[in-house]
Amino acid sequence: MDSDGLHLAIDYVGTSGLILSPEQKACLQTSFVILKSEGKFHKVYFWGKILGVKDDYFIAQGVGIDGMAEKRTFYSKDCVHWAILNPVSAENKEKTKLAKGRFTGDPSYEFEHIEIKKIAVPDSEEMQEEEETIMIKEEDRLSAVIDDIDQDVFIVPRGAFTKTPTGKVFENRTFEGLSVSEAAKQGSYLHFRDPIKLQEKTLLQKANMDKALDFLDPIDEDIPKGCWSLQFERGSGLVTLRSLQWIGYTFYHVPGTRQYGSCYCGTGEMNKDLPFML
Amino acid sequence: MADTQVLNNELNSSQQGSVKGSKPQTPANMEMNLNPKEQDFINAKSYLLTASTKTGLNLFDHLSRVLTKVLDERPENSIDIFEDLSKEQKKEKFTSDVDTVQDKLDQTTEVALAKIQTKLFSDAIESSKGDGEEEGAEEEDVETPLPNIMELAFFFEQAGVGLSREESVRIWLALKNLVDNHPLQHVRFWGKIFGTEQNYIVAEVEYREGEEEEEEEEEAEEGQEEETEKDNDDEEDEEAEEDDTPKPDFKPPAVIPKEENRTGSNKKTYFVCNDPGKPWIKLPPVTPAQIDIARKMKKFFTGRLDAPVVCYPPFPGNESNYLRAQISRISAGTHISPLGFYQFDEEEEEEEEGEGRDTFVENLDFEGIPVRDLVDPSLQNWVHHVQHILPQGRTTWWNPVQKNEDDFEDEEEDEEREEPDEPEPEVGPPLLTPLSEDAEVENLPPWTAKLSSNLVQQYAIAVMHSNLWPGAHAFANDKKFENVYVGWGHKYAADNYSPPPPPGVQEEFPSGPEITETEDPTPEEEAALRAAQQEAAEQAEDMEDLEDEDDEDD
């Protein structure tokens, strides 16, 4: 959610159990201003927090004018000092998936994973087992998980961003919010990432699309069906979407207004049991 | 300058133009001698005024409307959003302002909920007025079981957990409503459980002594039991008539009886509602079988209490039972208090020493534990004050064998079978065990202790986060402590869930010689048999021959 209205916006996700203490709010509001000016960002978003066993990580993202391309992630443990989180290479990202269990809260902690490889021994039929230890740094894992969450569940309402003919993605200044009936449909929310399923659509399906607005994947095609929980709070005054895939991700939107945002507060582990739980 | 003036004039007259439709206005000075510039202007304008053959709109009117809108509203950097403005203007053409359907007051769900919730506030206001006028100050001294939710919410907010303040007020009023309508001795806000469609707000209550509405429940249960008995009778009758169907000698293991109200996992009663202000619904008591199955499954709540729970192993009951089972499990795992806040009743201590004590009283001399000691990683200063649930699904162990002996009908059969070994009683940690005894979960410490503030540590409060049940929190400060749960109602597991395998295939018959397949005879055996048969045949022939000979003799 936007750092400018953090103290107001955080109340919208309070019903989902996401609370910041007054101390954290005060710290964040000061440090975000500095982060924004030092990083020369167009906007700074409070991304959420990842709960560790000993300590929690607070995550912020700074974006440039193009909301999609220029994005940098920061983390902090005390809400005051922010450290940049470098994106992980694709190879390292695969490795971080091997790390199991909760985050510890120490970025320099290394997860150990022992991979047992079977190597054929020449001149005999037996396979020799060889143990290979892979070390995964928590900082890398943190970066990979944040990237995964952004890819999988970070959403915006339809119309909030427009794509210009030059390919840049800007915030749509004429976005006036979804109507209540639109807000009740999952098709009105789009994944804020490079589209994957859009190319697979037929020409007929694409015919009715507005190229400036429908340049992202809507969430109603996500697999498995029902991996989002859409609820109206306060009657229809506030729509809340909770991801069941990444438990802890909450998106809110006040229908009829420009107010929307999302936040993650969880352990940073994907819900692999989702198919059993629906 | 001259051009802009003309344009302004034209803008003003555009209203007229639009009223008159797309018919181009022929200026009166058409035939007058115009200079070429003016002539060009008129040509251009008449082109712009040409109506589209498809929609009947013309560009001149459209542009003038868009520009009027821009000038009226004065958005910043209007050129960037010009396309959108133009598009919106076109869209607006299609929506009629006067629609009889839209004029009807729209009864949205927002209004409906607000109407429900406004009752909470108005009731509270009325009751406060009533108290003030009629009973006066005396009534205020009477202890109300209603907790000070806002104070607790304040502490939880310091800790960065719980719910928002506004929601807390609503829940507070809803609890007040609950207290007013039921004879309750003790009420707590237990927490909130998310569902996929709706959420549950859970209140934990204890009825006043003797005033529980037990009768209704018992009647209902008896009715159920009778029904099941009847069903069984019917089945038996049918079987007797047919006489052919073999009776299975499988006897299901004895059902573990549920714990009585006010004891064990049914010590407290729970009420739930979907939104504060909506009616509170009492959850049924939990049975050991439900707890047992709930441990083996993992499902999201839907938010509808009557929803069926479709899963494997099959869950005995609907979602209200599942919810109740999870509440029991979470309470048993995560309800903690500072050491010394509760103590065992000294009088009862001697009597019940044998089988583990299940009651405790508040320690009036409790002085509070310094916050520093509470966040000590050894966790010795926190204790569980809800009984541990045994693998059996009960807090006190129930011997399944003794029950078998009571059944008179089955006595003979029992004797025939081998006596099952006396099962080992399951033992759990006793009540008020320190958290330091909690088992580690997959290399994870079960609890995380924290100070609420790192900046002003002398005024911070101690906060505990459960790692076993993510979403369960507790705080303690001076003599105050509270537990809350806000989450999805599932236990933490680092590994992914896999449903238990189906039970092994049941043995159909005891294997014996009459149903085992005989081995094929070997060629030698066959040869021997053939030889023996031949011999017998020859003998028979001989006999016949002899007889024939005898006949011939006659």
Residues B346 and B261 in one domain: yes
Helix, strand, or coil here: A134?
strand
* Band of pLDDT at residue B550, cut at 50, 70 and 90: low
Q: Given an 8 Å threshold on Cβ–Cβ distance, is A174 in contact with B197?
A: no
**Which among A23, A174, A236 has the least Cβ separation from residue B453?**
A23
Residue B516 pLDDT > 80, yes or no? no
Q: Is B56 in the same domain as B122?
A: no
Distance from C-alpha of B239 to C-alpha of A250, rounded to nearest angstrom: 57
User: Smallest Cα–Cα separation from B273: which of B336, B181, B362?
Assistant: B181
Residue A140's nearest CA partner among A98, A88, A210, A204 is: A88
Among candidate residues A174, A176, A172, the one with its CA nearest the CA of residue A164: A172
Residue B471 has pLDDT above 80, yes or no: yes
pLDDT over 70, % of chain B: 73
B48 inside domain: yes
pLDDT higher than 50, residue B82: yes
Q: Is the pLDDT of residue A251 over 90?
A: yes
* Shortest CA gap A101–chain B (Å): 5
Q: Say whether A100 and B495 touch across the interface (CB within 8 A).
A: yes
Within a domain: B271: yes
Give the closest residue to A233 by CA, choosing from A6, A18, A16, A10.
A16
The three-state (H, E, C) secondary structure of B172-197, written as one string: HHHHHHHHHHCCEEEEEEEEEECCCC
Q: With 80 as the cut, is the pLDDT of residue B61 above it? A: yes
Question: What pLDDT score was predicted for residue B14?
Answer: 45
Mark whether B120 and B185 lie in a shared domain: no
The one-character DSSP state at A196 is S
Same-domain check for residues B439 and B531? no
- Residues B26 and B49 placed together within one structural domain of the fold: yes
Across the interface, whether the CB atoms of B163 and A17 are under 8 A apart is answered: yes
Tell me: pLDDT of A154 over 60.
yes
Number of domains into which chain B is organized = 4
Tell me which H or E stretch contains B82.
helix B82-94
Radius of gyration (C-alpha) of chain A in whole angstroms: 21
Q: Hey, what are B238's tokens?
A: 């049918």
- Cβ contact B117:B177 at 8 Å: no
Peptide bond preceding A87 in cis form (omega within 30 of 0) = no
Does B228 map to a domain? Answer: no
Please give the pLDDT value at position B225. Answer: 44
> Is residue B135 domain-shared with residue B283, that is, in the same domain?
no
3-state helix, strand, coil in chain B (%, to 5): 45, 10, 45
Facing B300 at nearest CB: one of A22, A266, A277: A277
CA atoms within 13 A on the CB side of A86: 5
In 3D space, the residue among B501, B495, B472, B496 whose CA is nearest the CA of residue B485 turns out to be B472
Q: Do B108 and A180 touch (CB under 8 A)?
A: yes
Nearest to A276 among B85, B455, B497 (CB): B497
Per-residue pLDDT reduced to its tens digit, A3-43: 888 888 888 888 888 888 888 888 888 899 999 999 888 88
Task: Tell me if B294 sits within 8 A of B217, measured CB to CB.
Answer: no
* ipTM confidence score: 0.87
**B386 in Cβ contact with B331 (< 8 Å):** yes
Do A244 and B196 meet the contact criterion of CB atoms below 8 Å apart?
yes
Q: Smallest Cβ distance to A11: which of B160, B164, B198? A: B164
Range of the domain at B164: 149-213+254-399+427-487
Burial of B367 (0-12, 13-18, 19+ CB in 10 A): exposed
Q: Which run of H or of E encompasses B18?
A: helix B2-20
Min mean pLDDT across A131-145, B116-130, B405-419, B529-543 is at B405-419
Residues on chain B touching A79 (C-beta within 8 angstroms): none
Q: What is the pLDDT of residue A75?
A: 92
Say if residue B272 is in the same domain as residue B190. yes
Chain A residues with CB under 8 Å of B194 CB are 16-17, 229, 242
Residue B11 and residue B64 in contact, taking contact as beta carbons nearer than 8 Å: yes
Helix (H, G, I), strand (E, B) or coil at A277: helix
Mean predicted confidence (pLDDT) in B207-226: 53
Pair (B197, B287) in one structural domain: yes
For residue B148, what is the DSSP state? -
Phi, psi dihedrals of residue B228, rounded to the nearest 5°: -65, -40
Say if residues A276 and A270 touch (Cβ distance below 8 Å): no
Contact present, B60 and B44 (Cβ < 8 Å): no
CA angle B229, B232, B233 (to 5 degrees): 90
Nearest by CB: A21 against B85, B160, B199: B160
Q: From CA A250, how far away is CA A155, in angstroms rounded? A: 10
Q: Where are the alpha helices (DSSP H) in A172-211?
A: 180-183, 203-207
Q: In this structure, are B362 and B381 located in the same domain?
A: yes
> Is A42 strand, coil or helix?
coil
- Strand locations in B149-259 (E): 184-193, 200-207
Per the CB < 8 Å rule, is A231 touching B465?
no
> Are both B318 and B394 inside the same structural domain?
yes
Distances in Å between the Cα of A50 and the Cα atoms of A16, A40, A104, B163, B494 are 15, 25, 10, 18, 16
Residue pLDDT, tens place only, B441-467? 667 788 888 888 878 888 888 888 888
Model pTM? 0.76
Does residue B387 have a pLDDT over 70? Answer: yes
Q: What is the DSSP string of B533-544?
A: HHHHHHHHHHHH
Name every residue in A having a CB less than 8 A away from some CB of B: 11, 14-17, 19-24, 27, 51, 53-54, 78, 100-102, 162, 172-174, 180, 226, 229, 231-232, 234-237, 242, 244, 247, 266-267, 269, 272-273, 276-278
Pair (B261, B199) in one structural domain: yes
Higher confidence at residue A129 or residue B553?
A129
Q: pLDDT over 70 for what percent of chain A?
A: 100
Claim to verify: residue B83 and residue B199 sit in the same structural domain: no
B108 located within any domain? no
CA atoms of B359 and B15, how far apart (whole Å): 85
The helix/strand/coil state of B75 is: coil
Q: What's residue A252's pLDDT?
A: 92
Q: CA A262, CA A2: separation in Å to the nearest integer? A: 9
Domain boundaries, chain A: 1-85, 87-148, 154-278
Q: What is the mean pLDDT of residues B76-98?
A: 77
User: Residues of B with CB below 8 A from A226's CB?
Assistant: 196
Q: In this structure, what token pair is assigned to residue A262?
A: 């999302």
Give pLDDT, residue B74. 85
List CB contacts (< 8 A) between B84 and chain A: 162, 172-174
Q: What is the DSSP letter of B80?
A: G
Nearest CA in chain A to B76: A173
Residue type, A210: D
